Structure 1
């Protein structure tokens, strides 16, 4: 659940030399604030024992992408064949849990599984930062958003005090998202539920708790049982009407503008809809309904909501995006990214493990390859670079 994370501005912080003293002084004040929210001194002291600021967390907060990720790249790794196969396998393995969550909250199992897959790759990528350390670092050394980090830190201490999640298992993102479906601590306190009947709400080590909690989130966000999130459409050439998730209009008004389903059939659906064109007027278009908004509320970004929606469709056996993205350099799947990294390693580049995750080392190597083949050095993992490496041009 990264909506708040994506919205965080650049962080200003003290120099490393003064950070430690500032941190310890801040912790003293936080102890009083936590006590006012019901966190005992004993809980605070145990949780904070030995905790020191980690300036790598500050670097992560300030680290801006080297380029804006195009929507087709974003979807290329989150809704590829590998993810679909994994998702279907996990749905079979946890069929009874998903069925129970669907029955309890009215959110279909394919959507619940899609959130799980996008958020943590079905539990394989739940985050690496100790939550108490990450949030206390942000609370004390990130003055522009210290209120956010303080609130999330105190919520984390409340979770620890209640005993729902073992403290040593509380790892997540630098902004506090944790567990199989990446709730931030304040969202956990509001919406996490017990899914396995043990009286605890453990989103880290209980898959039922995580999946039921995700269904509860979507339900509270306005999910309409049995309704569609939307579907891909065709827009007439030269279309100049409204676009965007909001404001929504009756389906009949979109039909009157000449918009049809991608297969040419008439539009349908209950309630008002928005026309989403995430790559502009030359790319694929989607009519999106209220359930799309529920997915959007989980993260606060159209790219994310579209990934959830499209992955849920693929898990149902429906096709993916059928329109053409406006690019002559198509995105790479995760397996293709691993292949790219293996080829880079074979040519002497240091990119770390060939895991398909494109970090700064891989981007630096790609930039070098791009320069050698006469492309602008963007660091983007696309088909052109992969083809150049496979053909031996580099």
Structure 2
């Protein structure tokens, strides 16, 4: 090793060690060695980068996280009211008009409806306006090397983040996102950025931070890779008996059994639904009474983006309202 590299390495390591508690220093140092060995990163470079990341408060942060009381989930009606607003619908129509050709191209390539892509962007960042102001490297490092119950997951995302930054020639210390490390227009986590993001404006790089075209193509590609059924249905309201209600889940519910099976169990399945169509049932708890819905495969695919049924239903209903307004202004 050249002497000047050795000097830089020792200097960076010294600074790095002084910035961290002993436990964090060892965990972070092990992680750096892993990145050097498995992905051929420069150790002096990583030491220099991590020496600029504040991890000291991680212990306090994780204590707060672990002691946080479990809160009652937000009711469906309140959740929906946060996202399905006149302003967000109007902004969605404006975004659609401003990106019409790109959305048409994404729909043609991936068979994902334009209004669904627009709705997802509206829910996630209000069409790119609220991408997050948390330094992502610091966020992921704190969650990886502290006491968070999902630190194994976040350590993997930290690895993916550094690889994503290198692959797209991005400065890791300058990237900002959500409090949990989600990035860009569509709030992709780093692994999703690497595996599903696409260069949809053909400029030679994948940029989910400033390219609306890349964001549009990437969301469509994400759903396509999760086996989106071309222009398939999402959900229908259904009335269930108390016995049948046991089949309805508040969390993700994957369609596994066919309409024929549910009809044999006396479920009132609409006649136009084919016997072979796989169905599931969900409930969306409100303040006073839960809504119950029959759901199709594409509703389940929407929950691959966010596993909350309320999120998927919001995407469905917001997309419908945006499409209605868009069609009125574009007869």
TM-score band w.r.t. shorter chain: 0.7 to 0.9
CA deviations on 1:13-48 (whole Å, 9 max, x unpaired) are xxxxx9633323332212101113313325424532
Contact 2:176/2:183 (<8 A) preserved: yes
Q: Which of 291, 310, 321 is matched with 2:317 structurally?
A: 310
In 2 relative to 1, CA 225–240 (structure 1 residues): closer, same or farther, beyond 3 Å? Answer: closer
* In structure 1, distance between residues paired with 2:63 and 2:128: 25
Q: Which of 243, 246, 271 is matched with 2:277 structurally?
A: 271
Contact 2:255/2:296 (<8 A) preserved: no
CA deviations on 1:200-238 (whole Å, 9 max, x unpaired) are 11111211112211111101111011212223x241666
CA deviations on 1:66-96 (whole Å, 9 max, x unpaired) are 4421111111111222222221111111112
- Per-residue deviation, 1:166: 4.2
CA deviations on 1:110-164 (whole Å, 9 max, x unpaired) are 1111111111121122122111111111111126333222211111111222234
Q: Secondary structure at the match of 2:293?
A: strand
Q: Within 5 A, what are the aligned runs for 1:319-334?
A: none
- Per-residue deviation, 1:246: 3.9
Q: Which runs of 5+ in 1 are unaligned?
A: 1-17, 319-394
* In structure 2, distance between residues paired with 1:98 and 1:43: 40
- Per-residue deviation, 1:250: 3.2
| Structure 2 equivalent of residue 148 of structure 1 | 153
Q: Which of 295, 299, 320 is matched with 1:292 structurally?
A: 299
| Structure 2 equivalent of residue 52 of structure 1 | 54
CA deviations on 1:313-342 (whole Å, 9 max, x unpaired) are 222229xxxxxxxxxxxxxxxxxxxxxxxx
In 2 relative to 1, CA 312–46 (structure 1 residues): closer, same or farther, beyond 3 Å? Answer: farther
Q: Normalising to structure 1: TM-score of the pair?
A: 0.67
In 2 relative to 1, CA 68–182 (structure 1 residues): closer, same or farther, beyond 3 Å? Answer: same
In 2 relative to 1, CA 274–122 (structure 1 residues): closer, same or farther, beyond 3 Å? Answer: same
| Structure 1 equivalent of residue 3 of structure 2 | none
Q: Which of 250, 259, 269 is matched with 2:258 structurally?
A: 250
Q: Which of 252, 263, 268 is matched with 1:259 structurally?
A: 268
* In structure 2, distance between residues paired with 1:180 and 1:82: 18
Contact 1:222/1:290 (<8 A) preserved: no
* In structure 2, distance between residues paired with 1:268 and 1:214: 28
User: CA RMSD of the aligned region, Å?
Assistant: 2.8
Aligned length: 296
In 2 relative to 1, CA 136–184 (structure 1 residues): closer, same or farther, beyond 3 Å? Answer: same
